Amino acid sequence: MPEPSLALDDTTEGDDAPLLFERVAEAVRALIAARALVAGDRAPSLRASARHLGVSVATVVRAYEELEREGRLEARVRSGYFVAAPASVAPHGRPRVAARVPAARPVRTGEHIDEIIESARLPGVVPFAAANPGVELLPSKALGRALRAVAAGSPAALLDYAPMAGEPALQREIATRASRLGAPVDPGDVIVTAGATEALAIALRVVTRPGDTVVVESPVYFGLLRLLESLALRAIEIPTDPVHGLEPAALENVLARTAVAAVVSIATFNNPTGSLVPEAARERIVALCARHRTTLVEDDLYADLHADDRRPRSYRDVGNESWVVTCSSFSKTVAPGFRIGWVISSRDRVALLERKLVASGSNARLPQLAMARFLADGQYGRHVARLRRAYREQLRCLRASVHRHFPDGTRTSDPDGGFVLWVELAGGIDTQALYRRAIADGISLAPGALFTNGRRFRNCLRLSAGEPWTERHDNAIARLAALAAAS
Amino acid sequence: MPEPSLALDDTTEGDDAPLLFERVAEAVRALIAARALVAGDRAPSLRASARHLGVSVATVVRAYEELEREGRLEARVRSGYFVAAPASVAPHGRPRVAARVPAARPVRTGEHIDEIIESARLPGVVPFAAANPGVELLPSKALGRALRAVAAGSPAALLDYAPMAGEPALQREIATRASRLGAPVDPGDVIVTAGATEALAIALRVVTRPGDTVVVESPVYFGLLRLLESLALRAIEIPTDPVHGLEPAALENVLARTAVAAVVSIATFNNPTGSLVPEAARERIVALCARHRTTLVEDDLYADLHADDRRPRSYRDVGNESWVVTCSSFSKTVAPGFRIGWVISSRDRVALLERKLVASGSNARLPQLAMARFLADGQYGRHVARLRRAYREQLRCLRASVHRHFPDGTRTSDPDGGFVLWVELAGGIDTQALYRRAIADGISLAPGALFTNGRRFRNCLRLSAGEPWTERHDNAIARLAALAAAS
C-alpha cells in the first residue's frame, strides 16, 4: 500500500510564515483530518518524507515530536511513529499555574509519604511513584570494578573513617565538574554528604532558625516540605510556571514584603514539574537574593540530565555566589545506594561542616573512593550522555502514553530534562484516591497533594520515567487512565 | 644468676586474710623493698613462681597485673614483666570526682575539636587523640570477601537505594545480638543509621525540644556536647565515678528538682573514663527515668569490648525498655568507615525513622549488605573476641607506660573494657597547652577541657589505645611526660 503523500502548503510563505517543521506538521495534520491516515496507521517514514518534501530528517523528527505532543502521533519503541487513537487527538495543554501567593505558614505534612514512596519498591509494582533511576541504566560494571580496585588496596581504604569533609580525591572531582560553567570551586569548599538530602538539611540548619520563613516553589518536592516541618520553619509557596519555573517578579514581590531566611529552588528540571528557569531569570533571582541578603539554596540534582546538549548553568554560575549554597548528588545519575551528595559554599563552609559532623559524622569511605575512581577514569561523561538519551526517550514514551490513554483535558508538563512528568487530570479526580486504587492494581504513583503544604494539586500526579519503557509500562498507564475514568 | 626467691607471708592467714594473689603481690613488693629486685630486672617468671609458691599461674598473673597497676612492674610486649623505674614506683590513684552538680546551662563548645581529632590522622603522628580502632586489628579480609560477594550479585545490591529503615538482613542480625541479654528486639524496631553519631542525633531530636535540659555524665564525650549545642539544649553534667560511672543517687537528686527531657549515658566503658555502671545501679537508673517519665538515651558503642568474658547487660536489658532508646554502631568493633550504626526503640520507632529520612535518607546499601553477610557468616564473634584481647593488652601497655613515665600524683582510670584511658595530671598542668606542644612533636592527645561544658578537667587528658602497642608508642608517652614536666 502506497503511503499517503505529504505536501507542504506553499501559501504560507513570507516573513510571518511558520517554521519549516511547523509546515511539515501541518501537512500531517491535513492527512489525518482527511482520514488519509487513521488511528493505528504507520506515519510516513522519516527518511522518505524528508526526501519527498526536500527537508532534513531532523525537521521531520521535530514535526513528528510536535504531533506527538499534540497526541496526533504516538512513538512506539523501536518501531517508529503511528497515528494515535482519536480519543487522544486533542490539545494537551500544560498544567495550570495559580495566580495567588499564599501567606507564610507552618508546614504540616501527612504521615503517608513513606508508604507511597516505598510502594514503588514493592515486588511486581510498576514504580511510577519514586523518582529513582532504573538500576539497569546505571554503570554497575564500571562501579563494581572501581569498588573492587579500591577494596583490594590498603585495608584503611576499606575500613577507616574518611576525612571529615570528604575524600580529597572526590572533593577534587566534584569541584572540577562544578567549576566548568562558572566561578572556580575550591575542592576544600566541597563537603561530601549523605545524598542531596543531607546537603539540604545542613544548609537549612545553617541559614535558618526555627520559626523563620523559607520560600519554596509550588508544586514542591515533598522531601523539602518534610525537612521544613522538622526544622519548625514556615513556608511560602510561590506558584511556578510548568515551563519556566520560579519567576523573578513573583519572588521579588514576596521578598519586598516578607523577611525570608532562605529561598530553595530547583532551577534545572524541577521536581515535580520538570521546569527550567531561563538563564536571564536565574541572574535576576540571584541578584534579588543578594539584595535582600537572603541565601539561595539550590538543589542542582538533575542538572546533568539535560535532554539537549547544553548543561544549564546553575545559580552559582550566573551571579554572586556568596549568596548561593549549592546542593547536589550522584543519586539520580550514578548510584542512589552510594548515598553520595555534596554541598558547596565558601561562605558557610565551616558552619556546614560542623552541622554535618554533628548530624552523622563523616561519610562512608569506600563508596567515596570508588566514586572518585569512577570519575577520575573519565567514565562519568560517557555514562551520563547515554543516560540522558535514555531518560529523554523514556520521558517521551511516558508522556505519549499518558496522552494516548487519558482523555481530553489532561495536561502534562514537557520537561527538557530529568525524568519525571507532572500531570494535571480533569478537575474532580482525586489522585490520593486514585493512588489507593492503583496500588491495589500494582501501579504506584505520587499524588499531587504530596507536593504542597496547601490544598492544591489534588487532581495532579507525578509519574517517574526512571525505568526503560516497555509494554508493561504502557499497559499500566492504560489501566491508570481507566481507573481515573471510573472515579 | 639465680632469681630472688619469693616467699608468702604465713602470718596473714585466717578469716580476714588477703586473697592469695594479694599475698603473691606482697611477696614481690617485699623483694623490691629489700632491693633484691631493682629497676630493669626481669621479674620472677610466671611458671617458676607458681610452682615455687604452690599457686596457679593465673594467681601470679593477677598479682603481677596488680603490681603493674601500682607502677612496680612493667610489662614489655612479648618479653614478660620487669621491675619498673623508681620514679614510677608510687601509688597511682584514680582520677578524682567533683562533689557538686552544676546547674543546667546552654552548651558552648570551642571550635578546635575537629582540629584536635583530625590531628590524630596526620601522617607520622602518634594517634592518642582519636578513639579509633587500629585498622590492622579489623577484619579487612573477611569484610573484603563479603563486599565482593555482594557486589558480584545483582546490580541492585550495588546501586539501588536501601529500604528506608535499613536492609532487613542487617536489621535481623542486629536484633538477634541485641536480644541475647534482655527483652527480645523486633528487627523492625532497628533503624540503621550513619554510625552512633546519627543514632544519638535523631534520638535527641525526637525526645527533646530546643531549650530543654538534658543530663549527661561528666566528663562527657565531646561529640555529645556538640550535638546538644547544635540542638540548643541545656546540659546538666553529673560528676561520675571513674570506676562506677553515673551514680543513681546523684541522678535522683537532679531529677527530683529539675525537669529533664533526656538522660544520656554510656554505662559500659564510658568515653572518656572507661567506667562501668554496676548492674544494680543500671536497674535503679532505668527505674528513676521511668518514674520521672524521662527518656534514657544509652550509647552502647563499647559494650562488646569487655575485657573479661561477660558482656555487661545494657540499660534496655535490665529495666523498663519503653523508657530506653539504645544507640550503637560497628565503628569501634568492625569498620569505622562503613558508617553503620543503629537506634532501637519500639516506642519511638516511627518518629526516629521520620527524623532519619529527613536528615539523610536511607543508609548506603552495599556496606549494609556486606556487614549483614559478615555477621551471618558467624565471623563477628571470633573477630571481636580477638579484638577484646588486643584492646585489653594495648590498654594495659598504655597505662603501664603512663605510670612508668609520668611522676607521682598522676592518676589514671583502669577500664574493664574499651580502649581509652583517662589521665589526671598534677594540678597546674594545662593539657590544652600540652596538646599544642605535643602535636608539634608528633604526638596527639585529647585535652580534658573538651570533655565538659564547664571549666573542669584542664589538667586531664584522654589517651586512646586503639593501635597495637610498640616502642614508638612508649617513646611517645615518655616524650609527653617530659613535655608535661617542662610545663
Identify which of A159, A205, A360 has the shortest CB distance to residue B336.
A159
What was the pLDDT predicted at B12?
44
Q: What angle do CA A330, A470, A395 make, to 5 degrees?
A: 50
Cell numbers at A396, concatenated: 517521551
Which residues in chain B are contacts of A158 at CB distance < 8 A?
140, 143-144, 147, 335, 337
What was the pLDDT predicted at B126?
95
Identify which of B151, B163, B195 has the shortest CB distance to residue A361.
B195
What was the pLDDT predicted at A13?
44
pLDDT band at B89 (very low <50, low <70, confident <90, very high): very low
What was the pLDDT predicted at B136?
94
The answer to whether B339 contacts A364, with C-beta atoms less than 8 Å apart, is: yes
Q: Per-residue DSSP letters for B272-293? A: TT--B--HHHHHHHHHHHHHTT
What was the pLDDT predicted at A330?
98
Q: Are B94 and B412 in contact (CB under 8 A)?
A: yes
Rounded Cα distance between A463 and A128, Å, is 5
Strand residues in A394-466 grouped as ranges (E): 411-412, 420-424, 443-444, 446-447, 460-464
Q: Which of B161, B221, B231, B343 to mutate: most A Cβ within 10 Å?
A: B161
Q: What is the pLDDT of residues A130-151, one digit of tens each?
A: 899 999 999 999 999 999 999 8
Region A52-77 average pLDDT: 82
The answer to whether A114 contacts B162, with C-beta atoms less than 8 Å apart, is: no
The answer to whether A147 contacts B143, with C-beta atoms less than 8 Å apart, is: no
Please name the residue of chain B whose CA is at the shortest distance from the CA of residue A360: B198
Which residues in chain B are contacts of A353 at CB distance < 8 A?
114
CA distance B84 to chain A (A): 36
pLDDT band at B40 (very low <50, low <70, confident <90, very high): confident
Q: What angle do CA A80, A82, A84 make, to 5 degrees?
A: 145
Percent of chain B having pLDDT more than 90?
A: 69
Predicted interface score ipTM higher than 0.85: no
Rounded Cα distance between B326 and B266, Å, is 10
What are φ and ψ of residue A264, in 5° steps? -110, 125
Q: Is the peptide bond before B219 cis (omega within 30 degrees of 0)?
A: yes
What was the pLDDT predicted at B388?
96
Q: What is the pLDDT of residues B183-221, one digit of tens each?
A: 899 999 999 999 999 999 999 999 999 999 999 999 999
The answer to whether B361 contacts A195, with C-beta atoms less than 8 Å apart, is: yes
The answer to whether B360 contacts A201, with C-beta atoms less than 8 Å apart, is: yes
The answer to whether B160 contacts A336, with C-beta atoms less than 8 Å apart, is: yes
What was the pLDDT predicted at A2?
47
CA distance B128 to chain A (A): 16
Percent of chain A having pLDDT more than 90?
A: 69
What was the pLDDT predicted at A58?
86
Which residues in chain B are contacts of A210 at CB distance < 8 A?
210
What was the pLDDT predicted at A351?
95
Residue A86 has pLDDT above 80, yes or no: no
Q: What is the pLDDT of residues B159-171, one digit of tens each?
A: 999 999 999 999 9
Please name the residue of chain A whose CA is at the shortest distance from the CA of residue B117: A164
Which residues in chain B are contacts of A192 at CB distance < 8 A?
none
What was the pLDDT predicted at A92?
67
Question: Number of residue pairs across A and B with CB atoms under 8 Å?
Answer: 173
Report the candidate in A240, A238, A263, A265 with the shortest Cα–Cα distance to residue A253. Answer: A238
The structure's pTM equals 0.82
Helical ranges in A152-231 per DSSP H: 155-159, 168-178, 195-207, 222-230
What was the pLDDT predicted at A459?
94
Percent of chain B having pLDDT more than 70?
A: 95
Rounded to 10 degrees, the C-alpha dihedral A100/A105/A108/A109 comes to 40
Rounded Cα distance between A375 and A168, Å, is 13
Rounded Cα distance between A359 and A230, Å, is 14
Q: What is the pLDDT of residues B417-451, one digit of tens each?
A: 999 999 999 878 999 999 999 999 999 999 999 99
Rounded Cα distance between B166 and B15, Å, is 58
For B400-419, b/e burial (b = at least 16 CB within 10 A) is bbbbbbbeeebbbbbbbbbb
Which stretch of A51-60, A241-250, A324-333, A428-437 has the lowest confidence by average pLDDT?
A51-60
Identify which of A118, A151, A331 has the shortest CB distance to residue B147.
A151
The answer to whether A359 contacts B226, with C-beta atoms less than 8 Å apart, is: no
CA distance B355 to chain A (A): 7
Pair type for strands B126-127 and B443-444 = parallel
Neighbours of A116 (CB within 10 A): 21
In the three-class reduction of DSSP (H, G, I as helix; E, B as strand; rest coil), residue B241 is classed as strand
Please name the residue of chain B whose CA is at the shortest distance from the CA of residue A133: B160
Identify which of B118, B230, B350 has the shortest CB distance to residue A358.
B230
